[in-house]
C-alpha cells in the first residue's frame, strides 16, 4: 500500500511526486501526514509578508490527498472515468487566509501536473478537473498556464502578504484573465510598475 507520508516527504522536500502504489490515505496515516504538512507550513508561511497565518490542517490534507490522486491518474490514464470521478472530488473554494495558504502549500505543484495532463489530453476528465481545482484556488492557479481566470473574485481574505504573493506570481507568469480588479489590483499595479512591466488591463472578476 502506498504511503501518504512518503508521498508528502518527496513533494515537500524535493518537489517530486514519487508514487509507489495506488493512493490510499488511511485514517491512521493522517496524524503523521498532518505533522509533516504543519512543519512544512511553519517554514513556508515565513516567506509571506504581513500578519502571521495559522495552519489549516483540513485544507492542507484535503489538497494533498487530491493532488496525490491527480498524480496517480496522470500516470495511469487507463482508469475508468467513473473511478477518476469518484476519487477526484469537486473542489471546495478556500475562504480564509489560512485555507488559501495551507492549500497552496501543496497545490503550488499542481500547475506542473496540469501542464502534463493537458499535453496528454486537453479534453479528458483529469485535465478538466485540474483546471477547475486551480481556478478555485487562485493563489495556486496563478502559477498555471490556464487562460481562463479565477472562478471567483480574488480577495484572499484581504491579507496583504497573500495579495502581494498573487501579484508577484502573476508578474512571473502574466496572463490577462488573471489580472483581476478588486483587492488584488493595487498589488498587481505596484509589482508590475516596480518590475518595469507593462501594466495589464484589469479584468472584471
Q: Provide the whole-model pTM.
A: 0.93
Flag whether 194 is in a domain.
no
- pLDDT(22) > 90: no
Counted domains in the chain? 1
Flag whether 159 is in a domain.
no
Range of the domain at 137: 4-153
Nearest Cα to Cα of residue 34 among 16, 8, 52: 8
Flag whether 190 is in a domain.
no
The pLDDT of residue 152 is 93
**For 200, phi and psi rounded to 5 degrees?**
-75, 155
Flag whether 204 is in a domain.
no
The pLDDT of residue 1 is 45
Flag whether 145 is in a domain.
yes
Flag whether 193 is in a domain.
no
61: left (phi over 0), alpha (psi -120 to 50) or beta: alpha
Flag whether 167 is in a domain.
no
Flag whether 85 is in a domain.
yes
Residue with cell 509507489: 20
The pLDDT of residue 165 is 98
pLDDT in tens, 31-81: 999 999 999 999 999 999 999 999 999 999 999 999 999 999 999 888 888
Amino acid at each position: 500500500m502506498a504511503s501518504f507520508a512518503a508521498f508528502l516527504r518527496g513533494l515537500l522536500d524535493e518537489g517530486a511526486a514519487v508514487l509507489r502504489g495506488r493512493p490510499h490515505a488511511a485514517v491512521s496515516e493522517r496524524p503523521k501526514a498532518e505533522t509533516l504538512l504543519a512543519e512544512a507550513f511553519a517554514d513556508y508561511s515565513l516567506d509571506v509578508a504581513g500578519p502571521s497565518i495559522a495552519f489549516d490542517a483540513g485544507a492542507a490534507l484535503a489538497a494533498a490527498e487530491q493532488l496525490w490522486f491527480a498524480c496517480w491518474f496522470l500516470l495511469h490514464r487507463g482508469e475508468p472515468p467513473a473511478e477518476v470521478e469518484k476519487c477526484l472530488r469537486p473542489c471546495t473554494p478556500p475562504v480564509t487566509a489560512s485555507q488559501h495558504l495551507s492549500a497552496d502549500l501543496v497545490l503550488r505543484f499542481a500547475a506542473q501536473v496540469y501542464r502534463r495532463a493537458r499535453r496528454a489530453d486537453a479534453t479528458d476528465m483529469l485535465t478538466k478537473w485540474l483546471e477547475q481545482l486551480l481556478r478555485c484556488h487562485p493563489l495556486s492557479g496563478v502559477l498555471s498556464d490556464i487562460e481562463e481566470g479565477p472562478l471567483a473574485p480574488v480577495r484572499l481574505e484581504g491579507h496583504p502578504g497573500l495579495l502581494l504573493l498573487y501579484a508577484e506570481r502573476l508578474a512571473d507568469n502574466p496572463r490577462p484573465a488573471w489580472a483581476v480588479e478588486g483587492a488584488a489590483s493595487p498589488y498587481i499595479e505596484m509589482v508590475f510598475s516596480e518590475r518595469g512591466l507593462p501594466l495589464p488591463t484589469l479584468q472584471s472578476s
